[in-house]
Amino acid sequence: MTLNRRSFLGAATATAASLGAARVWGASHGKPRVVVIGGGAGGATAARYIAKDSNGEIDVTLIEPTRTYYTCFFSNLYIGGFRELSSIAHTYGTLAAEYGVNVVHDWAVGIDRDAKTVSLAGGYTLPYDRLVVSPGIDFIEGSVPGWGVETQNAMPHSWKAGSQTQLLKAQIESMPQGGTFAMVAPPNPFRCPPGPYERISMVAHVLKETNPTAKILIADPKEKFSKQGVFEEGWNKHYSGMIQRIGPDFGGDKVEVRADSMELVIDGEVEKVDVCNVIPAQKAGRIAELAGLTGANGFCDIVPATMQSRVDENIHVLGDACNAGDMPKSGFSANSQAKVAAMAVRAALTGSKAFPAKYSNTCWSLVETNDGIKVGASYQATEEKIAQVDGFVSQTGEDADLRKATFEESLGWYAGITADMFG
């Protein structure tokens, strides 16, 4: 059969009609859209579980500025020389290729909650039916007088992993013999409660080998800290005389820094230091604040059963950015919360079965080679908050085999959680 003009036109019209119909259908009956802001333990896990468990019924877009993501967890082990930086680096190729997640490397710069759209620094605007906000933390400006982003190279925070972590490690390694490493520890609440103290352990491990007369000084605004008993036991055992912690009773809460002269001023007393790791006070990642999701303490209140924002039911806030009741701000917590949120999002958008929320967390820390410790708990959703059910913490006096097993377990956990996040 030859194609005459009439039949050609007819075919063209039919095609146009079907395209038009598809477009209309796409607008009114299309797949539900989920946008996830942040590709860390909360966001990557949520994106993966929503995409995986909805079997293509939900469009998932993940917005993450960095192409290579360095996990904060285990970044201290890199500082201590126990891990290569490359071993904590992850990319999003599997989420895109195997799970069909639309990965967009850009910054989310605004959320229009009425229009239900997210705007990106690159100029695009993405519509959503449900939004998952998991942006991690930002620092509270002025919380450590004298410190700001303009001084973060002289005095690194290294509380977001990557170049800052590399910088701090390099500075530790080039400290003069007998020099002083100082840390300004953050006030509660902050990302990774045992993190500063694991970092101190890792710095001490490095200095013990390379610079045994060096000193470590911690200015700490908190009375107590996570796993304090076992950390201090380990410091006495492995790094005797090296570490001095100044708590609030001696002015650890009244600190300012002078980046130009590398000075730390504790309650008026000036200390000259060689490396100064300033971990400022924290709040939810800025995008959460811009969207009006944050509460009085700078973090976002959530509904315990679903991780929905208390101020917007179309938004779920995960991880460090939220007020998760009794749960600490940790990668494990964010990963746990993400699965509850993913289930709630799927149930809302596709009518899939929803089961009761269960949360859990464990934080492992390394004190010295093969001396691992941990703290953990399980949680349930009550009306008021995510409440602790049960818990455990490493004990002082545990034998070396148990500590070694605890460390080995942490390696297994790292492999597990990163596979759970990135596929």
Rule CB under 8 A: which residues touch another protein?
Answer: 49, 52-53, 332, 335-336, 339, 343, 353, 355, 358, 360, 362, 374, 376-378, 380, 389-392, 395, 398-399, 401-402, 405, 408-417, 419-420
- Shortest separation between residue 22's beta carbon and another protein, angstroms: 31
Q: Comparing C-alpha atoms, which of 296, 337, 340 is closest to residue 320?
A: 337
- Shortest separation between residue 47's beta carbon and another protein, angstroms: 14
C-alpha span between 229 and 403 (Å, rounded): 15
Length, in residues, of the chain? 423
Whether omega before 196 lies within 30 degrees of 0, making that bond cis, reads no
- Shortest separation between residue 265's beta carbon and another protein, angstroms: 42
Distances (CA, A) of 67 to 46, 108, 199, 215: 18, 15, 26, 37
Distances (CA, A) of 226 to 74, 188, 230, 368, 394: 17, 11, 9, 17, 11
Residue with smaller CB distance to another protein, 313 or 390: 390
Residue with smaller CB distance to another protein, 47 or 104: 47
Compute how many other C-beta atoms are within 10 angstroms of the C-beta atom of residue 7.
Answer: 11
- The pairing of strands 359-368 and 371-381 is antiparallel
- The pairing of strands 243-246 and 215-219 is parallel
Residue with smaller CB distance to another protein, 147 or 414: 414
- Shortest separation between residue 43's beta carbon and another protein, angstroms: 15
Lookup result for tokens 């966001």: 43
Residue with smaller CB distance to another protein, 302 or 334: 334
- Shortest separation between residue 207's beta carbon and another protein, angstroms: 27
Residue with smaller CB distance to another protein, 167 or 305: 305
- Shortest separation between residue 44's beta carbon and another protein, angstroms: 13
- Shortest separation between residue 197's beta carbon and another protein, angstroms: 20
Query: Side by side, which strands form the sheet with 180-184?
Result: 243-246, 215-219, 180-184, 275-278
Residue with smaller CB distance to another protein, 273 or 367: 367
86, exposed or middle or buried, with CB in 10 Å at 0-12, 13-18, 19+?
exposed
Residue with smaller CB distance to another protein, 116 or 339: 339
Residue with smaller CB distance to another protein, 289 or 409: 409
C-alpha span between 233 and 244 (Å, rounded): 13
- The pairing of strands 263-266 and 117-120 is unpaired
- Shortest separation between residue 87's beta carbon and another protein, angstroms: 12
Q: How many helices (H) and strands (E) does the chain have?
A: 10, 24
